[in-house]
Structure 1
């Protein structure tokens, strides 16, 4: 990679040919480098952007992967991935040549990650991002095989947290005077929708006559601003039935909003609004603190106790398939085994 001295300006420049993505040969000229090594490094980095071989740095692989994913996944999904990669993966592999990275290198990185004592699910997710990067290198950059050959740790079985109807009633009674907050939590508890889905709701989404709510978007925070984007999965785009009392509460709240446009968010709040309310109120009323997302678990628990089957719950919550529902709530269904046996006993009476 020859570089040249510009004696007039006492700077360095690089001038070279490359082949673009259409197979066309192009010339590139870049001036103004104070040092020869800076010019050489700029040329190397530029050429790596067009390389289709694994003999590039991990940083260049990551840059290619981001461009590849930009229009293939939701912006919030890519931002989550990139935040984790920037923090936990890139510092370790950044300047390594991709084809030189071995399973042993990955194992050492995994060991260092495990030493940070993250939860098993978080640790496994970070490892999955590394696996995805190398899969891209295998699929598109002719890397022979991925060096990520083993899972980092076993999944951790954890108990889900939720409020019982009595616990939720204690919370909702305390916030009844704040009609906006009260209505928001009523919707979460009695529909099981996600926080972002709630905050994206408009009047156009609510059919008061048919007693249904359509969920077709979610509020996400990406690159420092709030945006609307499709729900989490294809199955999350759904229509759910709503009890009449909840519709009455929604109508009572929206009637108090001056000049509410049909496509205007009925809860024009940030994503931290609901969580802040929980952490502020629960200690004051001696109630355990849960996450906003745990209200979905609370709703599922109510449905299970009412005798709903897993398929119905999966459709209502917008799970990808019923296996997700069973993986999360199997132990709650198990708690009904004794009741079922008692009913079987009665069949013989």
Structure 2
């Protein structure tokens, strides 16, 4: 279709496309400064519509996000967009999809491995693996639906690693030593809840007054707080099974009850911990050093709780449900070095042989 010059001197691209039901639909866009820009828009649009690898990587990314946005949770989409738009698009957005080669990807991987955070530390190997997997997922999408012959990541290989380094945990004695050193009431209560329930930090930060079931000694986990692209976003928990109710001791519930009583005019939607994860990350390091115990991550309090339950002989199904894992395999994989349901039976058998 021809390009039209408007009265104000700009150009309009107007052409027809075929919709999913086979009918023709007019596609129009105004405001181009030159005829060439309008024609280029039409050509790029038709290439994109034809699912051709002649399209740019940026155009592929837009199609990919539009497709998966109907299938994934909002927080997952936001995380994908942040990673891709910051760490991948700047390198490849103008490249045609068919021209992206394994050697280009390896060069990008090398750049990612050299990057450092604001504090000068390199990115975690698990994060590097996430970057790599997000990029590869888009290229797999191009293979399945846009005619790309093969995913170049097959030859380029991967970076990073799937699992974090072996977790550090605190025993009850170590935690008690630590918590005595904490002189910030809000952080103190937060750390106690994390250690004695095993909930995720995002779940803690999203807790509101109505989630505290005082008469039942339970905490209702039904949402999570995440910081994505500089915004605090309340989302569904990580997995469907993450929606759960956690039993707590009388002592912990009494502390939570007193804490709520000290809040200024709280309502049922008042957040108990109205700040961000970094506050706990900073405090756990500071007070661990003050207490003279080894420094662990905030997430390791969750591991500490799981370890406590498993060493006490709690069955793996109960632990898995309490942690909100999607399946038992996740729990077994994470805590296989701790969980051994037969060890006590074997020890008992061997002891009997020596009687």
TM-score by length of 2: 0.83
Cα shift at 1:292: 1.4
2:202 aligned with 1:173: no
Q: CA RMSD in A?
A: 3.1
Change (3 A) 1:171 1:335: farther
Which residue number in structure 2 is paired with residue 288 of structure 1?
294
Q: Distance in 2 between matches of 1:27 and 1:35?
A: 21
1:137 aligned to which of 117, 133, 142: 142
Matched residue SS, 2:269: coil
Which range moves more in the overlay, 98-107 or 263-272?
A: 98-107
| 1:162 aligned to which of 156, 169, 178 | 169
Report if the CA contact (8 A) 1:20-1:50 is conserved.
no
**Residue 75 of structure 2: aligned partner:** 76
Tell me if the contact between 2:242 and 2:323 (Cα under 8 Å) persists in the aligned partners. Answer: yes
Assess, with a 3 A threshold, how the Cα gap between structure 1 residues 46 and 170 changes in structure 2: closer, same or farther.
same
- Tell me if 1:270 matches 2:272: no
Name the stretch that deviates more: 190-199 or 35-44: 35-44
Deviation of residue 320 (structure 1)? 1.9
Q: Which residue of 1 aligns with 2:118?
A: none
- 1:39 equivalent to 2:44? Answer no
- Cα 1:288–1:2, aligned 2, differ >3 Å: closer, same or farther? farther
Distance 1:42 1:300 in 2: 56
> Which consecutive residues of structure 1, in runs of 5 or more, have no partner in the other structure?
none
C-alpha distance in 2 between matches for 1:275 and 1:115 = 25
Give the match's secondary structure for 2:303: helix
Taking the aligned partners of 2:90 and 2:67, their CA distance within structure 1 comes to 21
Question: 1:25 aligns to what?
Answer: 24
Q: Give the equivalent residue in structure 1 for 2:317.
A: 311
Asked if the contact 1:123–1:152 (Cα under 8 Å) also holds between the matched residues in 2, the reply is: no
Q: 2:153 aligns to what SS in structure 1?
A: coil
Q: Which runs of 5+ in 2 are unaligned?
A: 116-121
Contact in 2 for aligned 1:75/1:222 (Cα 8 Å): no
In structure 2, the partner of 1:226 is 232
Aligned length: 346
Closer/same/farther in 2, CA of residues 45 and 168 from structure 1, 3 Å limit: farther
Q: Is the deviation greater in 29-38 or in 196-205? A: 29-38
User: Once the 2 structures are TM-superposed, how far is the Cα of residue 114 of structure 1 from its aligned partner?
Assistant: 5.1
Alignment of 1:1-349 (within 5 A): 3=3, 12-20=11-19, 23-103=22-102, 105-106=104-105, 109-110=108-109, 113=112, 118-149=123-154, 151-153=157-159, 155=162, 158-175=165-182, 177-333=183-339, 337=343, 341-348=346-353, 349=355
Q: Distance in 1 between matches of 2:4 and 2:113?
A: 47
Task: Tell whether the 8 Å contact from 1:189 to 1:296 is kept in structure 2 after alignment.
Answer: yes
Specify the alignment match of 2:119 in structure 1. none
